[in-house]
Amino acid sequence: MATEEPTTIRINEIQAIADRLLAYGLSKTLGHPGMQRDMVLGSKVIRALARSFSSADVVSIENGNTGM
């Protein structure tokens, strides 16, 4: 099986993902309260972790099998 190259992402892009996740979590159109709570919590966790990095940092994310 071919191994994919890791994805690189800047901290500001990670923060933008957290923003979108929060917006989806707060949206009334989703209609799944449990999923919405998970999205809001996920957004908070991502933001907390992103604060550990400088805004100039780049993170590498593995694209392969995550074992899930």
Read off the pLDDT of residues 26-61 as tens digits, 9 standing for 90 and up: 998 877 899 999 999 999 999 999 999 998 999 998
Of 57, 56, 45, whose CA–CA distance to 17 is shortest?
45
According to DSSP, residue 30 is labeled: S
Q: Which SS3 state, helix, strand or coil, does residue 60 take?
A: strand
pLDDT level of residue 67 (50, 70, 90 thresholds): low
Whole-model pTM? 0.78
Beta strands in the chain (DSSP E): 7-10, 58-61
Q: At residue 3, does pLDDT exceed 70?
A: no
Structure confidence at residue 65 (pLDDT): 60
Convert the pLDDT of each residue in 12-21 to its tens digit.
999 999 999 9
Contacts of 61 (CB under 8 A, 6+ apart): 6, 7, 8, 9
